[in-house]
Amino acid sequence: MIWKKEVSLEDLNNAPEYIGTFLGIKFTDWDDNTLKATMPVNKKTHQPWGILHGGASVVLAETLGSYASTLIIDTEKFAAVGLEVNANHLRPASDGEVTGICEPIHIGRKTHVWNIRIINSENKIVCISRLTVAIIEK
């Protein structure tokens, strides 16, 4: 298990207001190696043409990876901040919700790299993203 903190889904979902709460991101599950969250596909997350905005997918990816890093580090001494994110938008979504599944690629002392797959309700990939998180001293 990579997680070093004991938290509940309630803890994860009761964060102070941020862009993820505005978009409706909800953490739903984790296991030894993955963290999952959902995001509705609706007017808040659409682009003007009625499909999921790529930026909303990136918010989901960065939220998952950043939270995952904070579950590994000593947050009294360090902060996890996004360093680089990329995303390939492979399939449109126009309604329902998408699920982000975050898994580690690299967990180092100063950087973490996460793979985030965003899937639709049919388990088809909507977006694949990679997030690099810098671990900085507070």
The range of the structural domain enclosing residue 33 comes to 9-137
Known catalytic residues are 62
What's the residue count for the chain?
Answer: 138
Is there a domain that residue 2 lies in? no
Q: How many distinct structural domains can be found in the chain? A: 1
Is there a domain that residue 3 lies in? no
- What CATH number corresponds to the domain at position 74? 3.10.129.10
pTM above 0.85, yes or no: yes
Per residue of the chain (138 residues), give pLDDT as tens: 899 888 899 999 998 999 999 999 999 999 999 999 999 999 999 999 999 999 999 999 999 999 999 999 999 999 999 999 999 999 999 999 999 999 999 999 999 999 999 999 999 999 999 999 999 999
How many Å apart are CA 135 and CA 121, to the nearest integer? 33
Is there a domain that residue 116 lies in? yes
> Quick check: 120 and 60 in contact, CB under 8 A?
no
Is there a domain that residue 68 lies in? yes
